[in-house]
Amino acid sequence: MIVLSGTIGAGKTTLTTLLAERLNSPAYYESVDDNKILPLFYKDPKKYAFLLQIYFLNKRLDSIKEASTNKYSVMDRSIFEDSLLFHLNADLGRATETEVQIYDSLLKNMMEPSPGGKYQKTPDLLIYIDISFSTMLKRIKKRGRDYEQIDNDSSLYEYYRELNQRYATWYKNYDLSPKIKINGDKYDFVEDPNAREKVLKTLSDKVQEVLG
């Protein structure tokens, strides 16, 4: 089980598709376009932050269960990043202490080993796409989702800046599986075919090293 991680606009979905094709494996994607809660969250974060994270947690566990039945699988976000996002929202006053406690307890219970070891819940490899704040902003603007645009909500600038910083700390402290970092500024695998091939070669080698 291989999971991608990285902030908004890092290229997780693109790299998930590319790596899954290279490994001839299923790809599992975060539910965004059909997520009715996400636009509501951007309009009223205090009201919908907790509900949004519960939604993602549930969807993520469903994907983990399905992915664990395959020899190789690639997922475009780690379940552990949800905690990072929710704690940021809590620090910004968008969630209560009680909601944080409930969320953390639920995540811990959900990630306990399943009875009889029916399926694994932690990844075999975590891939972190590291991009600068400026690249993050450019990618968000380029993909054009109205509810993500700073032009429509100036408070998103600080939210994105803090999120980008916290991701770096989160990756540094992550220790639940082997991990590898890709410099998404230096290797623009989204636009540059040469960079794409270098990244895929690096990741294919890492997969073979970790998983055999």
- Residues annotated as catalytic are 76
| Residue appearing with tokens 């908004």 | 8
Torsion 157-151-9-95 (CA) sign:
positive
Residue 201 among known ligand-binding residues? no
Residue 6 among known ligand-binding residues? yes
Residue 42 among known ligand-binding residues? yes
Residue 143 among known ligand-binding residues? yes
Residue 140 among known ligand-binding residues? yes
Residue 139 among known ligand-binding residues? yes
Angle at which helices 12-23 and 193-211 cross, to 10°: 60
Residue 174 among known ligand-binding residues? no
* Contacting residues for 90 by C-beta, under 8 A, at least 6 apart: 49, 96, 97, 99, 100
Q: Residue 11 burial (CB < 10 Å; 0-12/13-18/19+)? A: buried
* DSSP SS3 for 101: helix
Q: Apex CA 61: angle with CA 53 and CA 3, to 5°?
A: 95
Q: How many CB atoms lie within 10 A of CB 47?
A: 12
Residue 206 among known ligand-binding residues? no
Residue 182 among known ligand-binding residues? no
Binding residues for ATP, as ranges, are 6-14, 139-143
Binding residues, as ranges, are 6-14, 30, 42, 53, 77, 82, 139-143, 148
Binding residues for substrate, as ranges, are 30, 42, 53, 77, 82, 148
